[in-house]
Amino acid sequence: MADAIYPLGKDHLLKKDIDVEVDDLKIVLVSSAYTYNAAHEDEEDLSGILAESAAFQATVSAGVLDFPDVTISGLDTGETCAAYILYMDTGTPATSWLIAYKDSAAELPLAGVTGIDVQLTVNGSGFFTL
């Protein structure tokens, strides 16, 4: 699967259910147990979750979504991250909307090492462009 913006995530962005500059966003690391599905909408649809970031906000300029580099703790030895997923965290999985799926980052697949944080460095051109 190539990188994708979830179709229902696009709906939530366009309907202003998600405000990336105000709402809490997170990155979740998933194993190959998760398969991207365009019909997935919220955190309840995810499987193979290995670790997640602290909350952050993004910026938008000229249709490009960008955010500061993110540190993620908890990817342990023997675990392999196959993809990153960006989502809006409400604290309730059924309303935590999925936004984007990325499995093309140069460091993927990423093997975990207990006690070593994962640093997600966002490309200079942003995380994605609408």
Q: What is the mean pLDDT of the chain?
A: 94
Strands 110-111, 118-120: parallel, antiparallel or unpaired by DSSP? unpaired
Residue 1 confidence (pLDDT):
65
Please compute the mean of the pLDDT values over residues 1-27 and round it to a whole number: 94
Q: Is the pLDDT of residue 20 over 90?
A: yes
125/91: higher pLDDT: 91
Residue 130 confidence (pLDDT):
81
Task: State residue 128 phi and psi, 5-degree precision.
Answer: -160, 165
Residue (of 107, 130, 129, 109) closest to 119 by Cα position: 107
What's the CA gap between 101 and 5, in Å, rounded?
6
Residue (of 36, 27, 47, 34) closest to 121 by Cα position: 27
Domain residue ranges of the chain, discontinuous segments joined by +: 4-129
Is residue 12 classed as helix, strand or coil in its secondary structure?
Answer: helix
